[in-house]
């Protein structure tokens, strides 16, 4: 079992890697766009950012830490590993919409311990490490204290893509209908990274995410948890739980991933049932 990573060294390394990623995204518009599914595009910018980040992290004294990337897959240490979404909100990026993010996290023994999320076109950066709070551009952040649903602005996940997109479309439509009728406002920004950091800093009062990939849930919930260390935890909205989270898909000894589609489908159904129950 790996020893706990040195977060005082890992955080500057993460910032340096994200610096390279932001510079590349700002200077290279997407051109070669391909599709891994009907609504799941990937561009040469995604691939280049992933390569830059992994190369930087692996050559700066952190080669003992594994890596999980959208294109690379999972390699290296299965107990302690970086996880990267090179561009969260690729469709937005493809259409020159500035609402996208670069999200890098560090996971140790299935628990996120560090996260850095950059919004390159908005000029903001968020980060957190366990026990040391969460920050935006160097300033401490805190979640909203709104506890009434009809006063809440809520971020909502995109509808489905991938093998189970039909089921997710049905589930999302049901939750969408309920929240639209009851919340002050419901917003679909097209980036779960954006939704989660905006919950962390209080821009959004809550967000609901259904069926996102593993990499969407490593570093960003950490931002929300860590900013609460310096103040009381706010009351939770009824029916505004971030749903559909799964444990990280860690690198295996052989560097491959393991899939559990049946479990994933069950969790999607359970997440929607939970949201409907809370809204009742």
Please give the CATH number for the structural domain made up of 149-279: 3.40.190
Coil vs helix vs strand at 149: helix
Instruction: Tell me the per-residue pLDDT of 236-268, one tens digit each, with 9 for 90 and over.
Output: 333 333 333 333 455 554 444 444 445 555 655
d(CA 96, CA 220): 24
Q: Are 20 and 26 spatial neighbours (Cβ–Cβ below 8 Å)?
A: no
Please tell me the predicted confidence (pLDDT) of residue 235. Answer: 33
Structure tokens at 179: 């929240």
Domain ranges of the chain: 7-140, 149-279
Look at residues 97, 96, 98 and name the one whose alpha carbon lies nearest to residue 118.
98
Report the mean per-residue pLDDT for the chain: 80
Total residue count of the chain as it appears in this document: 280
| Partners of residue 43 on adjacent β-strands | 33
Q: Are 18 and 125 spatial neighbours (Cβ–Cβ below 8 Å)?
A: yes
- The pTM is what? 0.78
CATH topology of domain 7-140: Fructose-1,6-Bisphosphatase; Chain A, domain 1 (3.30.540)
Coil vs helix vs strand at 244: coil
Instruction: Tell me the per-residue pLDDT of 225-242, one tens digit each, with 9 for 90 and over.
Output: 665 543 433 333 333 333
d(CA 51, CA 31): 17
- Helix (H) / strand (E) element for 20: namely helix 7-27
d(CA 147, CA 234): 8
193-218 exposure pattern, b = at least 16 Cβ within 10 A, e = fewer = bbbbbbbbbebbbbbbbbbbebbbbb
**7-140 shares its CATH topology with 149-279:** no
CA distance to 146, 155, 187, per residue, from 204 (Å): 10, 7, 9
252 vs 176, which has greater pLDDT?
176
């Amino acid at each position: 079992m790996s020893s706990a990573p040195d977060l005082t060294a890992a955080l500057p390394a993460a910032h340096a890697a994200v610096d390279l990623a932001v510079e590349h995204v700002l200077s290279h518009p997407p051109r070669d766009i391909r599709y891994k599914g009907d609504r799941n595009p990937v561009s040469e910018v995604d691939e280049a950012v992933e390569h830059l980040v992994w190369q930087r992290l692996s050559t700066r004294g952190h080669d003992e830490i594994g890596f999980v990337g959208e294109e690379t897959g999972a390699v290296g240490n299965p107990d302690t590993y970086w996880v990267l979404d090179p561009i969260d909100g690729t469709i937005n990026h493809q259409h020159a919409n500035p609402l996208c993010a670069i999200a890098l996290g560090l996971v140790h023994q299935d628990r996120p311990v560090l996260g850095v999320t950059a919004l390159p076109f908005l000029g903001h950066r968020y980060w957190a490490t366990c026990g040391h709070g969460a920050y935006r551009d160097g300033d401490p952040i805190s979640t909203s204290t709104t506890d009434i649903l009809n006063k809440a602005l809520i971020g909502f996940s995109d509808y489905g893509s991938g093998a189970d997109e039909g089921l997710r479309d049905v589930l999302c439509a049901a939750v969408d209908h309920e929240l639209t009728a009851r919340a002050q406002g419901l917003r679909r920004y097209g980036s779960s990274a954006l939704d989660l950091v905006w919950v962390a800093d209080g821009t959004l009062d809550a967000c609901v995410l259904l069926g996102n990939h593993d990499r969407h849930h490593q570093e960003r919930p950490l931002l929300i948890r860590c900013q609460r260390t310096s103040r009381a935890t706010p009351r939770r909205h009824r029916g505004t739980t971030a749903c559909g989270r799964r444990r990280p898909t860690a690198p295996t000894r052989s560097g491959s991933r393991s899939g559990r589609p049946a479990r994933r489908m069950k969790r999607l159904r359970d997440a929607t049932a939970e949201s409907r129950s809370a809204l009742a």
